[in-house]
Amino acid sequence: MTVRFMLKSAGVLLACGACLGVQAQQKQYPQPEAMTPGMSEYWTPQPAVVAPGDIRSNSAPSDAVVLFDGEDLSAWVSANGGEAAWPVHDGVFTVDKSRDDILTRQSFENFQLHLEWCVPENITGESQSRGNSGVYLQDKYEIQILDGYRNETYVNGQVGSVYKQTPPLVNAMRRPGEWNVFDIIYSAPVFKKDGTYRIPPYVTVILNGVVLQNHTAILGTTEYIGFPRVVPHGAGPLRLQAHGDPSAPISFRNIWIREL
């Protein structure tokens, strides 16, 4: 009797389960719509049209701020407050080490910078005393300019370094007498109320088509003596350095910047 009851109960449970299964199979839910190519496409806003520079004439992109086009230093001032007085000749300008650094009249935050520079063919000296200069981003963070062609120095002071912080990934210098090309992409820092970085500055440095810094975080000001300091600031100018080393001065040409 007990066995027969158990079998009968089991049969009832199986039957009920089968009924539920049938009910579940009968209920139909909407299926996802079939994807079409247009479902993942959008058309606005269209990006602004920028005419690239002409490589034959070294012209700047159409939306760039031209900082030097071979004519004069009207876009620059001396760091001591006077006019920028470095000599302009033959479409280039040359560092005057008897005068102060020069600064752009305009201040910038996030940008793409293009800058060409040449170490003189007759350069002498070694280590940091060989074609030394630098470009300071927002007048705070130096990217080292130096003759690195067969010229060893401390690695975080080599050409393309975030000075005294991050060495370049490689050495891509051309020999003295040939023009070098910097393309620098820079993101300005964001500060907290207490003056520390919420987001540090970042920089990508490309020399002669070769990446030297790949979205490198800048730790603070690039000090000659001591370690980086975090100094709250807003937009700032570019600075070109008139370094006091005894070697022959370098020259610059074709400088432009695009605000990002």
User: Is 26 a residue whose pLDDT tops 90?
Assistant: no
| Fold exhibited by the domain 65-259 | Jelly Rolls (2.60.120)
**CA distance readout (Å), 35 to 38, 40, 246:** 8, 9, 68
More confident residue, 1 or 161: 161
What pLDDT, on a 0 to 100 scale, did the predictor assign at position 11?
52
Cβ 135 vs Cβ 238: under 8 Å: yes
Residue type, 125: G
pLDDT tens digits for range 73-85: 999 999 998 999 9
The residue among 5 and 239 whose pLDDT is bigger is 239
What are the boundaries of each domain within the chain?
65-259
Q: What is the pLDDT of residue 4?
A: 52
pLDDT at residue 75, as a whole number? 97
* Mean pLDDT value of segment 41-49: 93
Query: Predicted confidence band at 256 (pLDDT cuts at 50, 70, 90)?
Result: very high
- Taking CA atoms, 39 is separated from 13, 32, 33, 43, 45, in Å, by 48, 13, 11, 12, 17
Q: How many angstroms separate the first and last alpha carbons of the chain?
A: 88
Q: What is the pLDDT of residues 183-232, one digit of tens each?
A: 999 999 999 999 999 999 999 999 999 999 999 999 999 999 999 999 99
Give the number of other CB atoms < 10 A from CB of residue 31: 6
186 token code pair: 């820079």
Mean predicted confidence (pLDDT) in 93-117:
96
Return the pLDDT at 7: 42
Mean pLDDT in residue range 125-154: 93
